[in-house]
Amino acid sequence: SKATPWLGWETAFSVVSGGTYQGTPGFTYFFCKGWFSTPNKMILKASNVVYGTGPNSILKYTGATIGIDLGGTSGSPELTLNIQLRDFDIRSASGTIGLSVYNTSRLKVSNVSIYGVITDGDSETGWSTAGLSIWGNGVGYSVINFFDRVVSRQLAGDAVRFDVGPDNIENT
């Protein structure tokens, strides 16, 4: 439940450093119905597939930065090739960006809602920069093949932000 969420589920991922967890390339992760709480950033890697059960699978991010980071290394999109994120709610009252997309290729995101509150009806304080941030630079890019039913609601910041980068056509 919201009051007693699942804790420690991040151990299915590899610890990177400083409370950051990343997926193992090629692994598929299934989340059942419930609330999953973490103060840690989740980084997905090549061919990670993450399935929830729709609005009944809720990631309660209690950290102060990015909830889910789909960020490759500049000039190396193969590190984030073929990621899928499906059927989730992402909620935070303290984070800056719900879903950050940088230097990816063949990304599929479907049925994901990003909320800037933990409880509906609360003041919007979470995701103070953006619910969804898509960005690149001179040697990095994001190729998004499929976004379906991705919603940002009740945010302190932007719903969608196309951030800095000379190769982001959306910025022109």
DSSP, res 61: E
Q: Could you give the 3-state DSSP secondary structure of residue 154?
A: coil
pLDDT in tens, 59-113: 999 999 999 988 765 556 567 778 889 999 999 999 999 998 877 777 888 889 9
Quick one: pLDDT band at residue 168, thresholds 50, 70, 90? very low
The Cα–Cα gap between 160 and 64 comes to 19
**Average pLDDT score over the chain:** 80
pLDDT score of 171: 35
Please indicate, yes or no, whether the overall pTM of this predicted structure exceeds 0.75.
yes
The Cα–Cα gap between 168 and 172 comes to 8
**How many beta carbons lie within 10 A of that of residue 79, not counting itself?**
15
Q: Could you give the 3-state DSSP secondary structure of residue 11?
A: helix
Phi, psi (5° rounding) for residue 29?
-120, 130
Q: What average pLDDT score do residues 128-137 get?
A: 80
pLDDT score of 98: 93
